[in-house]
Protein backbone atom coordinates (compact mmCIF):
# COMPACT_ATOMS: atom_id res chain seq x y z
CA UNK A 1 0.00 0.00 0.00
CA UNK A 2 1.20 3.54 -0.69
CA UNK A 3 -0.45 6.30 1.30
CA UNK A 4 -2.25 9.27 -0.20
CA UNK A 5 -0.27 12.39 0.66
CA UNK A 6 -2.31 15.22 2.18
CA UNK A 7 -0.84 18.49 0.97
CA UNK A 8 -1.03 21.18 3.63
CA UNK A 9 -0.15 23.72 0.96
CA UNK A 10 -3.27 22.83 -1.05
CA UNK A 11 -5.64 22.82 1.95
CA UNK A 12 -4.09 26.08 3.18
CA UNK A 13 -4.56 27.76 -0.18
CA UNK A 14 -8.22 26.60 -0.29
CA UNK A 15 -8.84 28.14 3.16
CA UNK A 16 -6.99 31.34 2.25
CA UNK A 17 -9.20 31.91 -0.79
CA UNK A 18 -12.29 31.45 1.42
CA UNK A 19 -10.79 33.95 3.88
CA UNK A 20 -10.09 36.46 1.11
CA UNK A 21 -13.83 36.63 0.36
CA UNK A 22 -14.64 37.09 4.05
CA UNK A 23 -12.07 39.89 4.35
CA UNK A 24 -13.58 41.66 1.30
CA UNK A 25 -17.01 41.50 2.96
CA UNK A 26 -15.63 42.76 6.30
CA UNK A 27 -13.89 45.67 4.61
CA UNK A 28 -17.19 46.59 2.89
CA UNK A 29 -18.71 46.65 6.39
CA UNK A 30 -15.94 49.00 7.56
CA UNK A 31 -13.72 46.49 9.40
CA UNK A 32 -10.23 45.60 8.15
CA UNK A 33 -8.85 42.62 10.14
CA UNK A 34 -5.72 43.75 12.04
CA UNK A 35 -2.94 41.47 13.27
CA UNK A 36 -0.03 42.53 15.51
CA UNK A 37 2.96 40.21 15.78
CA UNK A 38 5.76 40.56 18.35
CA UNK A 39 9.06 38.78 17.81
CA UNK A 40 11.86 38.89 20.38
CA UNK A 41 15.41 37.86 19.54
CA UNK A 42 17.38 36.41 16.66
CA UNK A 43 16.17 32.84 16.23
CA UNK A 44 16.28 32.31 12.43
CA UNK A 45 13.32 29.89 12.37
CA UNK A 46 11.14 32.35 14.35
CA UNK A 47 12.14 35.17 11.96
CA UNK A 48 11.15 32.99 9.03
CA UNK A 49 7.75 32.07 10.57
CA UNK A 50 7.04 35.73 11.38
CA UNK A 51 7.93 36.73 7.82
CA UNK A 52 5.41 34.11 6.65
CA UNK A 53 2.77 35.61 8.95
CA UNK A 54 3.47 39.14 7.68
CA UNK A 55 3.33 38.00 4.04
CA UNK A 56 0.03 36.14 4.59
CA UNK A 57 -1.46 39.20 6.37
CA UNK A 58 -0.51 41.48 3.49
CA UNK A 59 -1.82 39.03 0.87
CA UNK A 60 -5.16 38.89 2.70
CA UNK A 61 -5.32 42.68 2.91
CA UNK A 62 -5.09 42.79 6.72
CA UNK A 63 -3.85 45.77 8.68
CA UNK A 64 -0.49 44.36 9.82
CA UNK A 65 2.03 45.42 12.46
CA UNK A 66 5.19 43.42 13.11
CA UNK A 67 7.49 44.43 15.97
CA UNK A 68 10.91 42.80 15.86
CA UNK A 69 12.56 43.42 19.25
CA UNK A 70 16.13 42.75 20.27
CA UNK A 71 16.92 39.74 22.49
CA UNK A 72 17.73 41.96 25.49
CA UNK A 73 14.38 43.81 25.56
CA UNK A 74 12.81 43.74 29.04
CA UNK A 75 9.67 41.78 29.88
CA UNK A 76 8.04 45.09 30.86
CA UNK A 77 8.60 46.52 27.37
CA UNK A 78 6.90 43.49 25.82
CA UNK A 79 4.00 43.76 28.29
CA UNK A 80 3.62 47.49 27.51
CA UNK A 81 3.43 46.77 23.79
CA UNK A 82 0.78 44.09 24.39
CA UNK A 83 -1.18 46.56 26.52
CA UNK A 84 -1.07 49.07 23.65
CA UNK A 85 -2.40 46.46 21.21
CA UNK A 86 -5.09 45.35 23.68
CA UNK A 87 -6.47 48.90 23.59
CA UNK A 88 -6.00 49.53 19.83
CA UNK A 89 -9.32 49.02 17.95
CA UNK A 90 -7.42 48.50 14.66
CA UNK A 91 -5.90 45.31 16.13
CA UNK A 92 -8.10 42.19 16.29
CA UNK A 93 -5.34 39.66 16.87
CA UNK A 94 -2.13 39.72 18.93
CA UNK A 95 0.56 37.07 18.58
CA UNK A 96 3.85 36.80 20.45
CA UNK A 97 6.15 34.42 18.60
CA UNK A 98 7.43 31.56 20.76
CA UNK A 99 9.90 30.62 22.11
CA UNK A 100 10.84 33.74 24.08
CA UNK A 101 14.28 34.41 25.59
CA UNK A 102 14.68 32.88 29.08
CA UNK A 103 14.43 36.24 30.94
CA UNK A 104 10.88 36.83 29.65
CA UNK A 105 8.07 34.79 31.21
CA UNK A 106 6.00 33.07 28.54
CA UNK A 107 3.19 32.69 31.07
CA UNK A 108 3.14 36.43 31.94
CA UNK A 109 3.19 37.42 28.28
CA UNK A 110 0.38 35.04 27.25
CA UNK A 111 -1.76 36.10 30.21
CA UNK A 112 -1.29 39.80 29.33
CA UNK A 113 -3.01 39.35 25.95
CA UNK A 114 -6.73 40.23 25.90
CA UNK A 115 -8.44 36.79 25.47
CA UNK A 116 -10.66 38.39 22.80
CA UNK A 117 -7.51 39.14 20.74
CA UNK A 118 -5.63 35.93 21.60
CA UNK A 119 -5.58 34.51 18.07
CA UNK A 120 -3.01 31.88 19.12
CA UNK A 121 -5.58 30.42 21.53
CA UNK A 122 -2.95 30.12 24.28
CA UNK A 123 -4.57 32.34 26.98
CA UNK A 124 -6.00 30.30 29.92
CA UNK A 125 -9.47 31.73 29.17
CA UNK A 126 -9.39 30.31 25.64
CA UNK A 127 -7.84 27.04 26.86
CA UNK A 128 -10.61 26.73 29.48
CA UNK A 129 -13.30 27.57 26.93
CA UNK A 130 -11.96 24.89 24.58
CA UNK A 131 -12.01 22.29 27.37
CA UNK A 132 -15.54 23.19 28.43
CA UNK A 133 -16.98 23.41 24.91
CA UNK A 134 -17.44 27.20 24.95
CA UNK A 135 -16.53 29.40 21.95
CA UNK A 136 -12.75 29.82 21.89
CA UNK A 137 -9.89 30.72 19.59
CA UNK A 138 -8.45 27.32 18.71
CA UNK A 139 -4.65 26.89 18.71
CA UNK A 140 -3.52 27.14 15.10
CA UNK A 141 -1.53 23.93 14.57
CA UNK A 142 -4.06 21.45 16.03
CA UNK A 143 -6.95 23.33 14.40
CA UNK A 144 -5.05 23.05 11.10
CA UNK A 145 -4.72 19.28 11.60
CA UNK A 146 -8.48 18.91 12.12
CA UNK A 147 -9.13 20.95 8.95
CA UNK A 148 -6.68 18.81 6.94
CA UNK A 149 -8.34 15.59 8.12
CA UNK A 150 -11.89 16.80 7.50
CA UNK A 151 -11.14 18.32 4.10
CA UNK A 152 -9.41 15.06 3.07
CA UNK A 153 -12.58 13.12 3.88
CA UNK A 154 -11.30 11.46 7.07
CA UNK A 155 -14.17 10.54 9.43
CA UNK A 156 -13.07 11.34 12.98
CA UNK A 157 -16.14 10.36 15.04
CA UNK A 158 -15.84 6.92 16.59
CA UNK A 159 -12.23 6.45 15.47
CA UNK A 160 -9.29 5.60 17.72
CA UNK A 161 -6.99 8.62 17.73
CA UNK A 162 -3.55 8.53 19.32
CA UNK A 163 -1.58 11.71 19.91
CA UNK A 164 2.12 11.35 20.69
CA UNK A 165 3.22 14.46 22.59
CA UNK A 166 1.67 16.51 25.38
CA UNK A 167 2.82 20.10 24.78
CA UNK A 168 0.46 22.98 25.53
CA UNK A 169 0.77 24.24 21.93
CA UNK A 170 0.06 20.98 20.09
CA UNK A 171 -0.37 17.69 21.98
CA UNK A 172 -2.93 18.64 24.64
CA UNK A 173 -5.18 20.85 22.45
CA UNK A 174 -4.88 18.30 19.62
CA UNK A 175 -6.28 15.60 21.90
CA UNK A 176 -9.06 17.91 23.04
CA UNK A 177 -10.06 18.84 19.48
CA UNK A 178 -10.14 15.18 18.43
CA UNK A 179 -12.29 14.45 21.50
CA UNK A 180 -14.62 17.30 20.51
CA UNK A 181 -14.99 15.51 17.14
CA UNK A 182 -16.04 12.35 19.06
CA UNK A 183 -12.87 10.33 18.54
CA UNK A 184 -11.67 7.96 21.28
CA UNK A 185 -8.44 9.66 22.24
CA UNK A 186 -5.22 8.43 23.84
CA UNK A 187 -2.29 10.71 24.66
CA UNK A 188 1.16 9.08 24.66
CA UNK A 189 4.37 10.77 25.80
CA UNK A 190 8.00 10.24 26.72
CA UNK A 191 7.07 8.08 29.75
CA UNK A 192 4.59 5.88 27.86
CA UNK A 193 5.55 2.21 28.11
CA UNK A 194 5.25 0.13 24.93
CA UNK A 195 4.31 3.02 22.63
CA UNK A 196 3.72 0.64 19.71
CA UNK A 197 0.90 -1.16 21.55
CA UNK A 198 -1.00 2.17 21.51
CA UNK A 199 -0.02 3.47 18.06
CA UNK A 200 -0.95 0.14 16.41
CA UNK A 201 -4.58 0.74 17.51
CA UNK A 202 -4.72 4.21 15.98
CA UNK A 203 -6.99 4.95 13.03
CA UNK A 204 -5.66 8.50 13.33
CA UNK A 205 -2.09 8.92 14.56
CA UNK A 206 -0.71 12.38 15.31
CA UNK A 207 3.04 12.62 15.96
CA UNK A 208 4.01 15.82 17.79
CA UNK A 209 7.18 14.88 19.62
CA UNK A 210 9.90 16.92 17.94
CA UNK A 211 12.21 13.92 17.45
CA UNK A 212 13.02 12.55 14.00
CA UNK A 213 12.43 8.82 13.50
CA UNK A 214 9.95 8.44 16.38
CA UNK A 215 7.31 6.70 14.25
CA UNK A 216 8.38 3.72 12.17
CA UNK A 217 6.31 1.54 9.82
CA UNK A 218 5.88 -1.30 12.35
CA UNK A 219 4.12 1.13 14.74
CA UNK A 220 1.34 2.02 12.27
CA UNK A 221 -2.01 0.30 11.68
CA UNK A 222 -2.42 -0.44 7.95
CA UNK A 223 -4.58 2.24 6.32
CA UNK A 224 -4.31 4.72 9.23
CA UNK A 225 -4.28 8.49 8.73
CA UNK A 226 -0.86 9.65 9.95
CA UNK A 227 -0.33 13.33 10.73
CA UNK A 228 3.25 14.45 11.25
CA UNK A 229 3.56 17.68 13.26
CA UNK A 230 7.31 17.35 13.89
CA UNK A 231 9.73 19.84 12.35
CA UNK A 232 13.29 18.56 12.81
CA UNK A 233 16.51 19.37 11.00
CA UNK A 234 18.67 16.33 10.28
CA UNK A 235 21.90 16.89 8.35
CA UNK A 236 20.52 20.21 7.13
CA UNK A 237 17.32 18.55 5.86
CA UNK A 238 13.85 19.24 7.26
CA UNK A 239 12.09 16.06 8.42
CA UNK A 240 9.12 15.20 10.60
CA UNK A 241 8.76 12.74 13.50
CA UNK A 242 7.80 9.87 11.16
CA UNK A 243 10.09 7.93 8.86
CA UNK A 244 8.11 9.12 5.86
CA UNK A 245 9.35 6.64 3.24
CA UNK A 246 8.53 3.53 5.26
CA UNK A 247 5.43 4.82 7.11
CA UNK A 248 3.83 5.85 3.80
CA UNK A 249 4.01 2.20 2.70
CA UNK A 250 1.64 1.23 5.54
CA UNK A 251 -0.55 4.30 6.16
CA UNK A 252 -3.67 5.15 4.12
CA UNK A 253 -3.06 8.88 4.35
CA UNK A 254 -0.02 10.82 5.48
CA UNK A 255 1.08 14.45 5.81
CA UNK A 256 4.60 15.27 4.59
CA UNK A 257 7.25 17.48 6.18
CA UNK A 258 7.77 20.05 4.79
CA UNK A 259 4.50 21.01 3.11
CA UNK A 260 2.09 19.29 5.50
CA UNK A 261 0.90 20.71 8.81
CA UNK A 262 3.39 23.65 8.76
CA UNK A 263 1.62 25.77 6.12
CA UNK A 264 -1.70 25.22 7.96
CA UNK A 265 -0.38 26.87 11.14
CA UNK A 266 -0.09 30.31 9.54
CA UNK A 267 -3.37 29.90 7.65
CA UNK A 268 -5.32 29.09 10.83
CA UNK A 269 -3.80 32.19 12.43
CA UNK A 270 -5.29 34.20 9.57
CA UNK A 271 -8.59 32.36 10.13
CA UNK A 272 -8.62 33.28 13.84
CA UNK A 273 -7.85 36.92 13.04
CA UNK A 274 -10.79 37.07 10.62
CA UNK A 275 -12.99 35.43 13.29
CA UNK A 276 -11.90 38.06 15.80
CA UNK A 277 -12.65 40.87 13.34
CA UNK A 278 -16.10 39.37 12.71
CA UNK A 279 -16.76 39.19 16.47
CA UNK A 280 -15.84 42.88 16.80
CA UNK A 281 -18.84 43.70 14.59
CA UNK A 282 -21.28 42.23 17.10
CA UNK A 283 -19.66 43.62 20.27
N1 LIG B 1 3.09 32.17 19.03
C2 LIG B 1 3.36 31.02 18.39
N3 LIG B 1 4.62 30.57 18.37
C4 LIG B 1 4.86 29.39 17.72
C5 LIG B 1 3.83 28.68 17.05
C6 LIG B 1 2.52 29.19 17.13
O7 LIG B 1 1.53 28.59 16.60
N8 LIG B 1 2.33 30.38 17.79
N9 LIG B 1 4.13 27.55 16.30
C10 LIG B 1 5.50 27.23 16.00
C11 LIG B 1 6.12 27.91 14.81
N12 LIG B 1 5.23 28.24 13.68
C13 LIG B 1 4.43 29.33 13.78
O14 LIG B 1 4.58 30.19 14.57
C15 LIG B 1 5.36 27.58 12.43
C16 LIG B 1 6.06 26.40 12.29
C17 LIG B 1 6.23 25.80 11.04
C18 LIG B 1 5.70 26.40 9.91
C19 LIG B 1 5.92 25.86 8.55
O20 LIG B 1 5.34 26.33 7.60
N21 LIG B 1 6.81 24.89 8.38
C22 LIG B 1 7.20 24.44 7.08
C23 LIG B 1 8.71 24.34 7.01
C24 LIG B 1 9.36 25.67 7.21
C25 LIG B 1 10.89 25.58 7.22
O26 LIG B 1 11.44 25.43 6.13
O27 LIG B 1 11.47 25.70 8.31
C28 LIG B 1 6.60 23.08 6.79
O29 LIG B 1 6.43 22.29 7.74
O30 LIG B 1 6.34 22.84 5.62
C31 LIG B 1 4.99 27.57 10.05
C32 LIG B 1 4.82 28.15 11.29
C33 LIG B 1 6.38 27.57 17.21
N34 LIG B 1 6.12 28.90 17.67
Looking at the structure, do residues 144 and 110 belong to the same domain, yes or no? no
Looking at the structure, do residues 57 and 171 belong to the same domain, yes or no? no
In a domain, 14, yes or no: no
Give the mean model confidence (pLDDT) for residues 71-98.
98
Active-site residue 53, yes or no? yes
In a domain, 275, yes or no: no
Range of the domain at 172: 140-262
pLDDT of 161: 98
For residue 250, name the pLDDT band (cuts at 50, 70, 90).
Answer: very high
Nearest-atom index, ligand 1, CA of 99: 34
In a domain, 38, yes or no: yes
Looking at the structure, do residues 107 and 152 belong to the same domain, yes or no? no
Looking at the structure, do residues 145 and 258 belong to the same domain, yes or no? yes
In a domain, 15, yes or no: no
Share of the chain above pLDDT 90, in %: 99
DSSP string, the chain: --PEEP-HHHHHHHHHHHHHHHHHHHHHTT---EEEEEEES--HHHHHHHHHHHHHHHHTT-EEEEEEE-TT--HHHHHHHHHHHHH-TT--EEEE-SSPPTTS-HHHHHHHS-GGG-TT--SHHHHHHHHHT---PPPHHHHHHHHHHHHTT---TT-EEEEE---TTTHHHHHHHHHHTT-EEEEE-TT-SSHHHHHTT-SEEEE-SS-TT-B-GGGS-TT-EEEE---EEETTEEE-SB-HHHHTTT-SEE--SSSSHHHHHHHHHHHHHHHHHHHHHH-
Active-site residue 97, yes or no? yes
Looking at the structure, do residues 97 and 144 belong to the same domain, yes or no? no
The active-site residue, picked from 116, 117, 120, 176, is: 120
Looking at the structure, do residues 245 and 146 belong to the same domain, yes or no? yes
pLDDT of 1: 67
In a domain, 99, yes or no: yes
- Render pLDDT for 56-70 as a digit per residue (tens, 0 to 9): 999 999 999 999 999
For residue 47, name the pLDDT band (cuts at 50, 70, 90).
Answer: very high
Mutation pick for ligand 1 pocket among 36, 49, 165, 170 (CB with most ligand atoms within 8 Å): 49
Nearest-atom index, ligand 1, CA of 50: 14
pLDDT of 283: 82
Question: Where a domain ends, among 114, 149, 167?
Answer: 114
Contact 141 CB / ligand 1 (< 6 Å): yes
Q: Look at ligand 1, atom 7, and give the residue with the nearest C-alpha.
A: 140
In a domain, 278, yes or no: no
- Render pLDDT for 181-232 as a digit per residue (tens, 0 to 9): 999 999 999 999 999 999 999 999 999 999 999 999 999 999 999 999 999 9
Contact 79 CB / ligand 1 (< 6 Å): no
CATH number assigned to the domain comprising residue 80? 3.40.50.10860
CATH number assigned to the domain comprising residue 153? 3.40.50.720
Contact 54 CB / ligand 1 (< 6 Å): no
Looking at the structure, do residues 106 and 146 belong to the same domain, yes or no? no
Q: How many domains does the chain have?
A: 2
Looking at the structure, do residues 83 and 188 belong to the same domain, yes or no? no
In a domain, 79, yes or no: yes
Looking at the structure, do residues 155 and 249 belong to the same domain, yes or no? yes
Amino acid sequence: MTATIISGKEVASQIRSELKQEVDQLIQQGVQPGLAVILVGDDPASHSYVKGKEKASIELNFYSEVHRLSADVSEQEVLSLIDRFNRDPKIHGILVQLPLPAHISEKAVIQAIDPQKDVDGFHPVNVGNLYTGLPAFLPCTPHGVIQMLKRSGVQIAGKNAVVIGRSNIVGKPMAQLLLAENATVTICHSRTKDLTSFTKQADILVAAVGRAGTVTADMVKPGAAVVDVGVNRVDGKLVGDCLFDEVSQVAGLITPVPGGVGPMTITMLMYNTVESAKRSLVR
